Structure 1
């Protein structure tokens, strides 16, 4: 997919998902959020940038850690996400920008810590975005990111081929690339970071019922734009097909899907 088209798909897709995203995904993503904060080791008074901040969950947690003498800034490509973050956060600052040029919008060499929680997978050029994030760090600053892991370890991953079979271009063509093997470690080192550390976290995503599972996949996530354009019969068909793909993880009171995150940390020289 053309990078400009992919960026537009992500921008307007997350605009559509913004009002439901946090309610549908907050609990499921909590292990990744906590993992990023653990590796970041935020200290009172530090200046933090949260790239691809979404609804501001990680930004708010960062501000709580650095305190009133610190700074927490969030940015996202989605105007809808930025609006939700601004409406639900006190003391943080938010702006809309493409991660790949974040160092042109915010001062370079300024932040003690840059965070990016589950955002790199959506960027047309994650390596270029990482380089821009590193330029926002002060010398000696640190960067911490998380991405989804291996496709085979994420039970909800069937949503992509189901949607892609009905649209002209892939929604997230490279979504699982950074979660495979040592790809994230290589990307962080390639951005010039030192003392790179990566780790994997296995998790379980619980859904109380079929409606919640489908809403999270189709209305609160990366395929929301495509799903929003489907007619009613197509929506019913993709939901049925998706639920069929989840049956191996069905239980009496819903679904328990496997998931995997990869965390990465490195420091600027």
Structure 2
């Protein structure tokens, strides 16, 4: 099982602004349920770690007596993660696909954030996560339901048109836009027990730090994915450029709040 490195799932397609979003993430803000589960000395595997911003937070939380491994299928992102976080005690990064995770089953926690939404078979991805944790260990996953986004006020029509095309493009590529609401079922199918689900919605409100940069994520998505979508027959590149421009203006001048629907689920591997 792989992310499509040349198509929709490729993080190499991210532009600089989207990479800045990845780098700005923190354990406490971007994966609060995982942050609450941190204890000194834990062994944690972070799957789909990207540039390692959350992973570094994990390593700092478990301390030098713990062990933190971040893995991603994208070698360029792993190289960036190593460069950014070199010298953090107990932290290592490796290139690994979600279907070929370390098989030593020594990890107390296996975590994945915003990963399954990019997999063509997220149920199989969940099974791989469950197979990498030790018996008695915990799998923690956080992901989106893109169908339940909320904007206030409504964004420009050009962005609503782009967003609808984006979801259809993803769906036609075999990706699930409603991953968040299926996490519990997939954990059960993977043999996990004591499953619990928590709301972890991403709330962006004017007046909070970096609101405009965070609110512009869909303009950044239009810039990075729009040309590819147009090549695949989903819309006109000029229309997506207009959506990007009008949405940036909306984010700067009109937007009050954006709510990205996200759930976090945890389950325990039976001993």
TM bracket, shorter-chain basis: 0.7 to 0.9
Contact between 2:105 and 2:133, CA under 8 Å: does it hold in 1? yes
Match of 2:183 in 1: 184
CA distance in 2, matches of 1:172, 1:69: 43
1:113-128 → structure 2 map (5 Å cutoff): 113-128=109-124
Of residues 202, 217, 222 in structure 1, which corresponds to 2:221?
A: 217
Contact between 2:223 and 2:244, CA under 8 Å: does it hold in 1? no
SS in 2 for 1:187: helix
Distance 1:18 1:57, change over 3 A: farther
SS in 1 for 2:259: strand
Displacement of 1:164 after TM fit? Answer: 7.4
Displacement of 1:9 after TM fit? Answer: 1.9
Residues 200-219 of structure 1, C-alpha deviations (whole Å, 9 max, x = no match) = 23332355279945553235
Displacement of 1:146 after TM fit? Answer: 0.3
SS in 1 for 2:14: helix
Contact between 1:17 and 1:219, CA under 8 Å: does it hold in 2? no
Identify unmatched segments of 5+ residues in structure 2: 206-210
Match of 2:7 in 1: 9
Distance 1:112 1:27, change over 3 A: closer
Of residues 32, 40, 47 in structure 2, which corresponds to 1:34?
A: 32
TM-score of the superposition, structure 2-length normalised? 0.76
TM-score of the superposition, structure 1-length normalised? 0.76
Match of 1:204 in 2: 203
Displacement of 1:195 after TM fit? Answer: 0.4
Displacement of 1:140 after TM fit? Answer: 0.7
Match of 2:129 in 1: 133
> Alignment length, in residue pairs?
252
SS in 2 for 1:208: helix
Distance 1:209 1:130, change over 3 A: closer
1:81-120 → structure 2 map (5 Å cutoff): 81-90=77-86, 91=88, 92-102=91-101, 106-120=102-116
Contact between 2:216 and 2:247, CA under 8 Å: does it hold in 1? no
Identify unmatched segments of 5+ residues in structure 1: none
**Larger mean Cα displacement after TM superposition, 88-97 or 55-64:** 88-97
Greater relative contact order structure (CA < 8 Å, 6+ sep): 1
Computed over aligned residues only, the root mean square deviation of the Cα atoms, in angstroms, reads 3.7
SS in 1 for 2:201: strand
